[in-house]
Amino acid sequence: MHEKSLIIIGAGLAGLSAGCYAQMNDYQSHIFEHHSKPGGLAAAWRRGEYLIDGGIHFLIAHRPGSAIYDVYRELGAVQTTTCVDMDRYMRFVDEASGLKVDFTRDLDKLASDLKRISPDDAKAVDAFIGEARRLKDSPLLMDLGMALPPELKGKLGTLREIWAMRGFMKYFVGGYSKSAAEYARTMHNPFTRVMFENLFSPDGPAWFIIMIVATVAAGQLGLLEGGCPGFILPIEKRYKDLGGQVSYNSTVETVLVENNKAVGVRLEDGTEHKADIVVSAADGRSTIFKMLGGRYINDGVRKQYSNWRTYSPTVMMSFGARRTFPDDPPLNMFLLKHPLKLGSREISCLPLRVFNYSDKFAPQGKTVIQVMLETEWDYWDRLVKDRPKYEAEKERVAAEVLSRLEEHYPGIESQVEMTDVATPQTTWRYTLNHEGSPMGWLMTAETLMAQVPRSLPGLKDFYMAGQWVLPGGGVPSCIYSGRHVVQILCHRDGRFFHTFFP
């Protein structure tokens, strides 16, 4: 007999994680999910014989030996076949000069390649690679200080954490706390500038790209062999095996509140469901301002939702081609000779994902390739109101992108037999994330230092998890955030927090 019941809104990574830990700790949970399947942003879909992987590019800590890996194991998400090592992170190609640089595990080679291209940037390159080398060997790389939520760290715990991370504090205040774009502007060589700006997101902090380079060098970056389903479906199975209940196609409209205590949810179909505790692992803005009518906020929440910026949404073009790409790394970045236009943005870098590392995405002799471009919500939001124009723009962008790839892969235009274009509207329709944001709040010095509480002021028995309570989102953070909620529940209910491997 379970002691307390829990309703969880959303079956993304955070919701599924909260559900698994709830079940492990004797809370009876029921997840209500808007979409017809689990995963949220970690999404994949079929187009004929092709599997389009529209989420997680790479998994941090895919190998045993870290706290994060143990958490994946608790959720049943990793087995020996889940991942292949991502030894090559990205290849940059400058169309104008033909120069190429591979970001691989070999930091010495990377340093010498970068310095050969731009001797004027040698000092900055040495400093950057030096940091990556230091981080690669640090136990903190695979820890990230997420074992406990801010609510349970206490003053002493927070001080201990600050002390443990003292070597990395400069990342939050010094030159590496700037955005990657700003940091890149300190480089002299234009191609070097583009590389550092686009190693991850130009808007993300520069230290995050050090972290990625360090993670690759440490051999701790993996590619999901079966795409997102290979990671998500085992977690959903673990949840159900633990006795959790999940209802799909069930969109929550309102969180029911009595005497400032959450008591359940009302779905869009009008049905009401009661529970002792409600957890939202869905979009933060719609949770706070729609489902709860904006009644439980303070200056901190108001400031967060008025001032903080979110990651730009993307337009994702996937192509099924009758050809193979045997020598390509999983990610190429082409610096275009002539920028292409998308809304009011000029795109000068074309990132190409190549799904050639597993046979799960396409039949033999065929390959899925994918280009994901940052774009503007308003542009697609206006277009979608005129369906023929919206469809025409999707076709135009996909055709333009393919024609740009022709220079690198002659014949590709005629070899493509499947085209799929997902816009920010698509992301919103399937996940309800504000303006289709793929990772929630931008990581900045301010957002990273802020400790976002997992509850709302004045509302009892209500908690939040997911990318809207941990700036930057991402797989480990979102999974940890679901775990945090159950840790808080166990603490307040005077219970020991249990975990166990399947």
Pick the closer one to ligand FAD by CB: 86 or 187.
86
**Is 101 in contact with 192 (CB distance < 8 Å)?**
no
Binds ligand FAD (CB under 6 A): choice among 42, 211, 213, 401? 42
Q: According to the binding rule CB under 6 A, does residue 203 interact with ligand FAD? A: no
Tokens in use for 339? 């920028």
Alpha-carbon gap, residue 239 to 291, rounded angstroms: 25
Pick the closer one to ligand FAD by CB: 114 or 333.
333
Binds ligand FAD (CB under 6 A): choice among 30, 35, 91, 484? 35
Alpha-carbon gap, residue 216 to 105, rounded angstroms: 5
Q: According to the binding rule CB under 6 A, does residue 10 interact with ligand FAD? A: yes
Binds ligand FAD (CB under 6 A): choice among 23, 425, 447, 467? 467
Residue 93 CA, distance from chain mean position: 25
Binds ligand FAD (CB under 6 A): choice among 8, 14, 297, 464? 14
Binding mask 421-440 for ligand FAD (x = CB under 6 A): ----------xxx----xx-
Alpha-carbon gap, residue 227 to 58, rounded angstroms: 10
Q: According to the binding rule CB under 6 A, does residue 41 interact with ligand FAD? A: yes
Binds ligand FAD (CB under 6 A): choice among 7, 8, 55, 332? 55
E runs forming strands in 178-311? 221-224, 245-247, 252-258, 261-267, 272-274, 277-280
Alpha-carbon gap, residue 250 to 163, rounded angstroms: 45
Binds ligand FAD (CB under 6 A): choice among 121, 236, 283, 393? 283
Pick the closer one to ligand FAD by CB: 23 or 118.
23
Residue 407 CA, distance from chain mean position: 31
Give least dist CB 410 to ligand FAD, A.
28
How many residues contact ligand FAD, by CB under 6 A?
35
Binds ligand FAD (CB under 6 A): choice among 251, 254, 419, 499? 251
**Is 99 in contact with 115 (CB distance < 8 Å)?**
no
Q: According to the binding rule CB under 6 A, does residue 236 interact with ligand FAD? A: no
Give least dist CB 181 to ligand FAD, A.
19
Task: Give contact residues for ligand FAD (rule: CB under 6 A).
Answer: 9-15, 32-35, 40-42, 54-58, 251-252, 281-283, 431-433, 438-439, 466-467, 473-475, 478
